[in-house]
Amino acid sequence: MLQIRHVSKRFEALAALGDVDLAVDRGEIVGIVGTSGCGKSTLLRIVGGLEPPSSGSVVLDGVAVTGPRPEVGLVFQEPRLMPWLSVRANVEFALARWPREQRRAMAEAALARVGLGTFADALPQQLSGGMAQRAAIARALVARPQVLLLDEPFSALDAFTRFTLQDHLLDIWRAEQPTMLFVTHDIEEALVLSDRVVVMRAKPGRIHAQYRIDLPRPRRRTEAQLQAWKERILEDLDLARKGGGAEPEFAI
């Protein structure tokens, strides 16, 4: 349903992305991992219509993406809530195209789904980091986008909050089945969540390898198979410790 066709991006002399080709099926969860500077966030911004590609195109359900689209929701690394709006009003912010009288109920339903029902009237400054990010997810989901893009959505959170929100995201996915494309530098996160993990490498940004993770969900983070995949991806990224030994403890 989502096709990224030979997309490249140059920032003046710098080639951020060179010829990326990727097709994502409806309802599929695709995790993109890579070291910093490999262009994975740029790719997501192009898919979201925030930046035009230098060449190539992004096609969603047969229509070329030329700008932000209501069918596409985006969660950033930071919550990016409007500090002057209540949590509810922040979620309603995404409903400008909906009839006014439906907005409130939709926003409250979306907040309830992320477990923030009782915080609808709070201001963003009163929320913890994890709660603020959940509110941002509610805002991205409230308009029922077919595609949800997530740009390192949990990277600014502590490990425990991150695990909770990862499970949470899977619950939402089970309920609504949006197509999800997310960028992360946490290989384990990609392995726990994704149907497919795409490994990108830099200079210029390109897809180096893809792995289909055909394990049933929910997956245990300690599962042996996941560890084997993690090892291979670390090797792809030249980050595996050479000559065996202990499991490398990397958070890139």
97 binds another protein (CB under 8 A): yes
CA angle in degrees (0–180, nearest 5) for 140-150-190: 140
91 binds another protein (CB under 8 A): no
Contacts of 54 (CB under 8 A, 6+ apart): 8, 9, 10, 17
Q: Which of 74, 114, 190, 237 binds another protein (CB under 8 A)?
A: 74
Give DSSP secondary structure letters for 119-185. Answer: GTTS-GGGS-HHHHHHHHHHHHHTT--SEEEEESTTTTS-HHHHHHHHHHHHHHHHHH--EEEEEES
* Cα–Cα distance, 44 to 22 (Å, whole number): 12
Q: Which of 3, 52, 57, 80 binds another protein (CB under 8 A)?
A: 80
82 binds another protein (CB under 8 A): yes
98 binds another protein (CB under 8 A): no
Comparing CB distances to another protein, the nearer of 52 and 204 is 52
Shortest CB 104 distance to another protein, Å: 17
Shortest CB 82 distance to another protein, Å: 6
Q: Which of 48, 130, 153, 178 binds another protein (CB under 8 A)?
A: 48
> Residue with structure tokens 């202990």?
246
* Cα–Cα distance, 147 to 234 (Å, whole number): 28
Amino acid present at 195:
D
123 binds another protein (CB under 8 A): yes
How does DSSP classify residue 223?
-
Amino acid present at 66:
T
Comparing CB distances to another protein, the nearer of 123 and 240 is 123
* Stretch 136-155 residues interacting with another protein (CB under 8 A): 143
How does DSSP classify residue 200?
E
Considering CB under 8 A, how many residues would be counted as binding another protein?
22
What's the 3-state SS for 108-128? HHHHHHCCCHHHCCCCHHHCC
Amino acid present at 218:
P
160 binds another protein (CB under 8 A): no
Q: Which of 13, 36, 105, 125 binds another protein (CB under 8 A)?
A: 125
Binding segment for another protein among 69-77, 114-122, 153-161, 164-172 (CB under 8 A)? 69-77
Shortest CB 226 distance to another protein, Å: 32
104 binds another protein (CB under 8 A): no
Comparing CB distances to another protein, the nearer of 76 and 211 is 76
The footprint of another protein (CB under 8 A) covers 48-50, 68, 70, 72-74, 76, 78, 80, 82-85, 93-94, 96-97, 123, 125, 143
